[in-house]
Structure formats: C-alpha cells, structure tokens
Amino acid sequence: MATRPSRRTALALLGAAPAGGLVAGIAVPAAADDRSGPLPAGLLPGGELDQYVADKAAADEFSGSLLLTHRGRTVLARSYGTADKQRAVPNGPDTLFPLASVTKLFTAVAVAQLAQQRKVAYGAPLGTYLDGFPSSVADTVTVHHLLTHTSGFGDFHALPGYETAAAGWTTPEQTMNGTTDLIRRSEPSFAPGAGWLYSNAGYHLLGAIVQEVTGMSYYDYVRHHVFAAAGMTETRFLTMPQWQAGRNIAHPYHRDAQGRWTDAITQFRYIVGDPAGDAFTTCADLDRFGRFLWQHKLLDPGQTALMLSGKVPLVQAGTAPADGTGVPAQALFQAYGPTGALVAGQWTFGHGGGNPAGISTSIDVYPEADWGVVVLSNYDGVVVPSIASLARKLITAGP
C-alpha cells in the first residue's frame, strides 16, 4: 500500500490550520500543540548529536557550524575549526560559508515568485523566455523540467571550454551570459521528462529566465526579493577577491595526497557564483530562509505547497541515498528546488550541497514538528550528511 503524507502535514503546507490557528495570517500546524512534550534528549546540548559533532571536530573531520532550532528558537548551536587556517580565524556563528548547490533553493523561490505573479508558467517551454536554443530544446524543455532536473541538461562545469572561459570572466554579467551561451551549444542527454539527471545547467537557465522576465540581473533580483524578503541580512554573492580578502568568510579545505589540509580557494576559477551554486550565508540566515519559506512569507500558500510537494519519485528511480540512520524515507521526491521526503509520517524538505575541494552544506526543515537543521562546513567529506542524518533520526523518533 502506498504511504501518503498525513492530513495534518498536507493541511499545514497548504495553509490550513486544523487545530492550531493563524498568527499574523500564517498557518500554525496543529503539530505545535500536539508535540508540546519535552524535546528529545539526543538533540539537547550534551546529547547524542552534540557529542557526535564534537567528536568529529576533535578528530579534525569537521570544521564548520551547526544550528538546530525548534519553533524558531535555538536548541543547539556549535562552531568548530577555522575559517582561514593561514590567518588563524576561527569559525563562528557569523562566519559566511559558500553554499554550493543549496543556492538552488533561492533560484527556485525566485521562479515561484514570478509564477505567482503569472510572469512565468511552469508548463511553458524554454523558448518562451530565452532565445538561441534549437527548436528541439526550445519547444520541448519546460520550466518544470528545469526545476525537477528532468530536462536532460547536466553539469555546465563539465562542458568543453567552460574552465578556460570562466577564468576570463571578470563580472557577474559575463558569468551569466557566458555560461548561458555554453549551455546553448550543448545537447541534453535525453528527451525532457525521460529521466532524472542532477542539473546545474538547468538551474543556471532558470536564473537566466529570472533576468529576462524581470529586466533585473539575477543577483539583484534574489538580493531584493529573496534575501531581503527573508531577513537574510548576511547572505550575498561574493566575488573571488571579496572571498579571498574577507576575514569572516570560510576558505574551503581538502586533504592533499599526504593527508594535509590544503586551502582550495584558488581552485575556484570563476569570479562569482551563479543560480546553481555558491551564494554565501550563515547558519542563522539559512535557518530563517527555511522558516520563512514554509510559513508562506516568501510565497502565498498555494505556491508554497506547489513548490514543496513531490514531483518526481527518486526512490523508485534508484537515486535515494542510503544514510544508515535506521530511519529510511518512506518516499523521496524531487520538488521544485528541494528534495522532499516522508519519514516516520512527517513530510520534510531540504537540500544539500558540496564540492570535493572543500564545501559541504545542508538544510533540512520539518514543518509539522517545527524543526530546522542547518550544517555548513568548509571541509570536504561525508560528515555533514552524517550529521544531518543523525538529526533526522532523533527528530523523527520523538522524545
């Protein structure tokens, strides 16, 4: 028998308030009343999660920050390691971390806002908004396909000539236009909708659509309509010189062949991130973004539900990661931006990001139980997913 999200979860995401009510016009899930007992001990300071992260940091396997919130209040906040080893700058709650692919959530919200304004249609083909693509792409790939990684486009970083071209771009405008031109000259790996392939190219094109529709640069749009709207006062896109010069900006580290931590900042050839990756933020800003999103402060209730609901099943496609927590997802879906999962009867959503040069990030939001988990690290490796998985196990297990 297929497992469905609980009625309470569905109502919360759709903006109804079956037993909670409305606060300032925002739906309060009934779970806020139903789950008012003690917090799980494993999530509290000194508990299992706290000790796990401390042990990983002590073994020099984790460098970064963790923030765990419940009903908007901090339950656990920790920072370990250094943002810049050469200058001995420690990581802290105000450290800015490059997000890698978690940035895609901001792009997805931007597109949903334009859909809410009826300036973009999810079912419209790419050619409606961007020119220069062959008809085989312009007339068949839709906004829906780009959002769900089903367009057939893959990773623009791997396109021939990308690294050479990116090294010569000196402005955000060149980054946007140059990357779009490279994608125009590429071919999708399969017909739209015929498969699922993680698509940096697809999310870059979504950012290009935002530019075309609004007449603003992608960077200006998300700064005003996503970051500012969510109260993300520290979040921004940084140029490479700003990244290198800033004292509170985490440098990425990975181990070299001798096992020594190496600063990989010079391996990033581009001048600035783009709609597919590498905005910079803090744990507090990213947690606030997740809360604003599910509480309908960035989109109206209908658009919020549409963005966060499952579109493409991933478990069936064999793309569900094994996390070893003992709490497997009952269903895992690609939504419009995030991945959604049904775990122990709770619908959750989130996104991870990473770069083997030394970026690992994660956000998970549990609307029904009102938990947020953000982990940002400037070390490569699998520790961040393991922290997020342990938090998921403890949250869904209850007190």
According to DSSP, residue 246 is labeled: -
Active site residues: 101
Q: What does DSSP say about strands 89-90 and 97-98: parallel, antiparallel, or unpaired? A: unpaired
Which pLDDT score is estimated for 191? 97
**Fold match flag (7-97+236-397 vs 105-227):** yes
Which pLDDT score is estimated for 37? 67
CB neighbour list of residue 164: distance below 8 Å, 6 or more residues apart: none
Cβ–Cβ < 8 Å for 241, 143: no
The pTM for the full model equals 0.89
Which pLDDT score is estimated for 328? 61
Which pLDDT score is estimated for 315? 62
> Please, what's the b/e burial string for 288-304 (b: 16 or more CB within 10 A of its CB; e: otherwise)?
bbbbbbbbbbbbebebb
Would you list the domain boundaries of the chain?
7-97+236-397, 105-227
Fold of 7-97+236-397: Beta-lactamase (3.40.710)
**Structure tokens, 395:** 């949250």
Torsion of Cα atoms, 20 then 26 then 29 then 35, to 10°: -80
Count of residues in the chain? 399
Phi, psi of 129 (to 5 degrees): -115, -30
- According to CATH, what is the number of the domain 105-227? 3.40.710.10
Which pLDDT score is estimated for 257? 87
**Inter-axis angle of helices 301-308 and 283-294, nearest 10:** 110
Task: Give the pLDDT of the chain (399 residues) as one tens digit per residue.
Answer: 333 333 333 333 333 333 333 222 223 343 333 445 689 999 999 999 999 999 999 999 999 999 999 999 999 999 999 999 999 999 999 999 999 999 999 999 999 999 999 999 999 999 999 999 999 999 999 999 999 999 999 999 999 999 999 999 999 999 999 999 999 999 999 999 999 999 999 999 999 999 999 999 999 999 999 999 999 999 999 999 999 999 999 999 999 888 889 999 988 878 999 999 999 999 999 999 999 999 999 999 999 999 999 999 986 444 444 444 445 667 899 999 999 999 988 999 999 999 999 999 999 999 999 999 999 999 998 999 999 999 999 999 866
